[in-house]
Amino acid sequence: MSKSHLELTNVQMAFDTKEGPFIALENIDLKIRKGEFVSLIGHSGCGKSTVLNIVAGLLQATRGGCVLDGHEVNTPGPERAVVFQNHSLMPWLTVYENVELAVQQVFRKSMSKAERKEWILHNLKLVNMDHALDKRPGEISGGMAQRVGIARALAMKPSVLLMDEPFGALDALTRAHLQDSLMKIQQDLNSTVIMITHDVDEAVLLSDRIVMMTNGPAATIGEELYIELPRPRNRVTLADHPEYVRYRQAVLSFLYEKQRFPGKGEDEQEEPTAEAEAPAQGDNLPDVGNESEESPVRRIA
């Protein structure tokens, strides 16, 4: 095994709230190899996006940290491209211009104008969006916008690709198509991928490893499951593969037996107050970006 490429050590994330600090993550330890495809799975609000944002540099861990290729991550950068949970395209730019903004920024010096144009078109073709170059995000469907967001991230040639439920808004057919292209792209480029998903099949199909998170607050890594299915993988032949079925079962059992959704059933490990808190905190989700500037400086005692 090669030495780790991306490493999260003893990460704790506490958010300041009106009722005092809210500890979202506790003791997250994760080592990822170059070229590894890791899925993060866990119930809504457990802290998956927070983990991703720490790797992206958009949030600063209150304890511990993230190291990429020997350098500590403390600012965001295009070598860790993010596909956001909602597409996050600039609504005033066309599909082409949205990708162009990223390509312009990353390859301003290393590519000629013609090369950049070709590269933009190439990436939009990968996600089958080259037919709507001059449309604005408001004029295309949510799934299409999400695909453009993926093209934008891929176009940055990131060494780590961070994806927050990239296929959540897509229909089954498009989703399958994009999963296949993602698998191919990832194999070709040997890029490291961290993907958040709610879809167990997707996680098993795509990943080298599935990281399962416990419920918040103070969520941590519950179990890790290495998926040792041969690549390239084919969704049709895999469906009856006994190993595949076993992996699926393992994830499902973690999610629905060991970590029941807080509030839905009685969970012996947690205090009732903590259970009541988690869904209430979930309402604050859109604030993540706003708070990100303040949170790094504050540490809880």
Partner 1 sequence: MTTLSHTDSLSQGQRWLRALTDKLSGVNLAETGRQLLLPAIGIILFLGFWHIAAPQVQTSLGAFPGPAQVLEQTGRLWQEHDNQRDRAAQFVTMQEERNERILAENPDAEVKIRDYPGAPTFIDQIFTSLGTVLAGFVLATIIAVPLGIIIGLNRHFSAAVNPLIQIFKPVSPLAWLPLVTMVVSATYVSDDPMFEKSFLTSMITVTLCSLWPTLINTSVGVSAVNPDLLNVSKVLRLSFWTHVRKVVLPSSVPMIFTGLRVSLGIAWMVLIAAEMLAQSPGLGKFVWDEFQNGGSESLSRIMVAVLAIGFIGFLLDRIMLLIQKKVAWNE
279 binds partner 1 (CB under 8 A): no
41 binds ligand ATP (CB under 6 A): no
Identify which range of 48-56, 68-76, 167-175, 232-240 contacts ligand ATP by CB under 6 A: 48-56
Question: Nearest CA to 73 among 129, 6, 17?
Answer: 6
CA distances for 197 relative to 94, 135, 167, 182, 298, angstroms: 28, 28, 8, 14, 30
- Residues in region 97-116 near partner 1 by CB under 8 A: 101-102, 105-106
Q: Which residue has 């899925």 as its token pair?
A: 39
123 binds Mg ion (CB under 5 A): no
82 binds partner 1 (CB under 8 A): yes
Strands of the sheet with 221-226, listed across from one edge: 80-83, 160-164, 192-196, 37-41, 209-213, 221-226
- Residues in region 38-67 near Mg ion by CB under 5 A: 49
Instruction: List the single partner that 80 binds among partner 1, ligand ATP, Mg ion, none, CB under 5 to 8 Å by kind.
Output: partner 1
Show Cβ contacts of residue 296 under 8 Å, excluding neighbours closer than 6 positions.
Answer: 59, 60
Asked if residue 15 lies in contact with residue 291, where contact means CB atoms within 8 angstroms, the answer is yes
Exposure b/e, 206-238, CB count within 10 A at least 16 = b = bbbbbbbbbbbbbbbbbbebebeeeeebeeeeb
Q: By CB under 6 A, name the one of 49, 62, 146, 192 that touches ligand ATP.
A: 49
Identify which range of 12-20, 50-58, 111-119, 273-281 contacts partner 1 by CB under 8 A: 50-58
Q: By CB under 6 A, name the one of 11, 14, 47, 162 that touches ligand ATP.
A: 47
Q: By CB under 8 A, name the one of 92, 246, 252, 282 that touches partner 1.
A: 92
Shortest approach of partner 1 to residue 24 CB, angstroms?
17
281 binds ligand ATP (CB under 6 A): yes
Residues near ligand ATP (CB under 6 A) are 15, 17, 22, 24, 42, 44-50, 85, 216, 278, 281-282, 284-285, 287-288, 291
